Amino acid sequence: MEFIDYVIIATYFLVSIGIALYYSKRASKSSEEFFLSGRNLPWYLAGLSMVATTFAADTPLAVTELVWKNGISGNWVWWNFAFGGVLTVFFFAKLWRRAGIMTEVEFAEIRYAGKPAKFLRGFKAIYLGLFMNVIIIGWVNSAMISVLTGIFGVPPEDVILYVFLCMGLVAVYSALSGLWGVVVTDAFQFILAMSACIILAMIVINSPEIGGIEGLKTKLPPSAFEFFPNLGDSPVEGAKIFSLSIFSFFAFIGIQWWASWYPGAEPGGGGYIAQRMMSAKNEKHSIFATLFFQGAHYALRPWPWILAALAAVVLYPELNASNSKNGYIMLINDFMPVGLKGLMLAAFFAAYMSTVATQLNWGTSYIVNDFYKRFLQPGKTEKQYVVASKVVTILLMIVSAFVTLYIDRISGAWEFIIECGAGLGLVLILRWYWWRINAWSEISGMATPFILLPVVRYLGIPFPDSLYVLVFGTTFVWLVVTFMTKPEPDEILLSFYDKVRPDGKLWDKIRIKGGFPPMPTMIKYQFLGWLSGVVTIYSLLFGSGSLIFGDLANALIYGVFVILGITGVVFTLNKMTGTNKSHA
């Protein structure tokens, strides 16, 4: 690190602070401005913010670890979520925007009634907004500490103060500027972070040690470049192919994406993704923002990380299962010249800050809107709620810093979170489209996996095979609970239907009872859009990869499917946005 590197990093921080100060006055108008940008976000800002939030400081490191263990195909552990992400685009983005609520957990009291609805809203506000949120921020802090430790070659205790100061800065600009400042800085931070990652990949791949793409291909086994897992063989490590039983692969492709809750990939949308959809200017902007996010997140963004990871496997044979993710940091130290190293470190700060800023704003929205305002201090002025939001943002930062001190490395945490939410996903989907779902359905769907998980552990069933027991066991329980408990009162169901107008036959009983006229059904077009979107994203992902690795024949085939998929997506969007002009 030279003087110019520090100048670049300082410039990055000054620009981020300047954006926050610019939007500070606007955020103080009301809690809706603070948490939802006045419901006036254009699709490109909302979409960029979603993509930036899911790019944390440890994301390139995690991809490096996946590629070291299982080659390119190892990324299927998160690529499979694209199925659910595209489902959110065509089935749920418009409904979240139409609901007119402040947060995802506020949904509980427009869809359900009585004490169960109150409990569900209050519990989720604290569980997600405080408990889960500070764990995620602590995890992100821990990753940033690892990055700085690797780059500067010093012990963690020598850099932890700088990470906490950075988080403090994020908390201040989030408290000052609200969601407007968060999303605009997200856009700036994402462009900076991805540009640096692309530059690193290009420098490393074209270095004499690698010798370009052809040189990379000669230095690794062909299995490292396979896009799909090998079904049936035992897994091997060191950039080999991802090997799964057919039973396990179906758990990823056929179950996980719709059945399990996971932050940022909730079935039907949720969390900060729902926050961005509800912040959009209208339904059309909500749909386009979510579609842009899915395409950028799954199809375009991974390749610079994957290429760098493959190079790290070649360059650092001393890496092993416990430290393979450090290969990305080693590339920065060894290949980024003066100036660009500062840019790369600024990029890591950008990735880190975009994630933490969203987590702070989103978590604060739950605590203030769904707990403080709903249960502790109802009926206060908007000014008081904005002040409370700023205070809670700072307090969340302090609690997260404390939690960070007790987080070393969370091995397999994503598997644990998926298992703890296994089976809940179908409730989160059907609560929009089936009137019979009630609060007890969702409560039992949340509780059952925690009861079944110790049984799965005792039986020694590994992930992802454990999803079969957890998903089908949880689904059986919440279905039984649903039919053993009373439906929600007619008045709450009629109010929800009148406000949201969910499509499909499963609301016909309520529609007829309320005297609502039939609506033109969009279900068949939505399924076409979903299928077309999935084809587009995976074809774009694998077509880009084929082009990068010089496989022109497959690139052409994937290109044809990209064109067919885009045609189906455009046709669907025209049908959806043209038919629902009253809501758009």
Give dist(CA 423, CA 258) in Å, integer: 9
Give dist(CA 63, CA 116) in Å, integer: 41
Is the distance from CB of 219 to CB of 311 less than 8 angstroms?
no
* Distance (Å) of CA 307 to CA 197, 214, 237, 344, 543: 10, 12, 17, 16, 15
Task: Please report where in the chains the tokens 């419901």 appear, as a residue.
Answer: 39
Provide the whole-model pTM.
Answer: 0.90
Across 212-229, b (16+ Cβ under 10 Å) vs e yields eeebbbebbeebbbbbeb
Task: Give, for all 584 residues of the chain, the pLDDT tens digit.
Answer: 789 989 999 999 999 888 888 887 777 778 888 888 889 999 999 999 999 988 888 889 989 999 998 889 889 988 999 999 999 999 999 999 999 999 999 999 999 999 999 999 999 999 999 988 888 888 888 888 888 888 888 888 888 888 888 888 888 888 888 888 889 998 998 999 999 999 999 999 999 999 999 999 999 988 889 998 887 655 555 556 666 677 778 887 888 889 888 777 888 888 889 999 999 999 999 999 999 999 999 998 999 999 999 999 999 999 888 888 889 999 999 999 988 989 999 998 888 888 898 899 999 999 999 999 999 999 999 889 999 999 999 999 999 988 888 765 444 556 777 888 889 999 999 999 999 999 999 999 999 999 999 999 989 998 888 989 999 999 999 999 999 999 999 999 999 999 999 988 999 999 999 999 988 888 999 999 999 999 999 999 999 999 999 999 999 999 999 999 999 999 999 998 774 444 44
Question: Which pair of structure tokens corresponds to residue 514?
Answer: 């309320």
Half-sphere exposure of 249 (CA within 13 A, CB side): 16
Give dist(CA 439, CA 112) in Å, integer: 6
Q: Report the greatest alpha carbon distance in the chain.
A: 73
Question: Which pair of structure tokens corresponds to residue 129?
Answer: 């907004």
Question: Which pair of structure tokens corresponds to residue 390?
Answer: 């700023």
Cis? peptide before 267, omega within 30° of 0: no
Across 171-180, b (16+ Cβ under 10 Å) vs e yields bbbbbbbbbb
Q: First vs last Cα of the chain: how many Å apart?
A: 51
Instruction: Please provide the size of the chain in residues.
Output: 584
Give dist(CA 309, CA 156) in Å, integer: 24
**Ramachandran category for residue 2: left, alpha or beta (phi over 0 → left; psi -120 to 50 → alpha):** beta
Give dist(CA 352, CA 48) in Å, integer: 15
Give dist(CA 299, CA 276) in Å, integer: 20
| Residue 230: φ, ψ to 5° | -90, 120
Instruction: Residue 340: count other Cβ atoms within 10 Å of its Cβ.
Output: 18
| Residue 515: φ, ψ to 5° | 70, 25
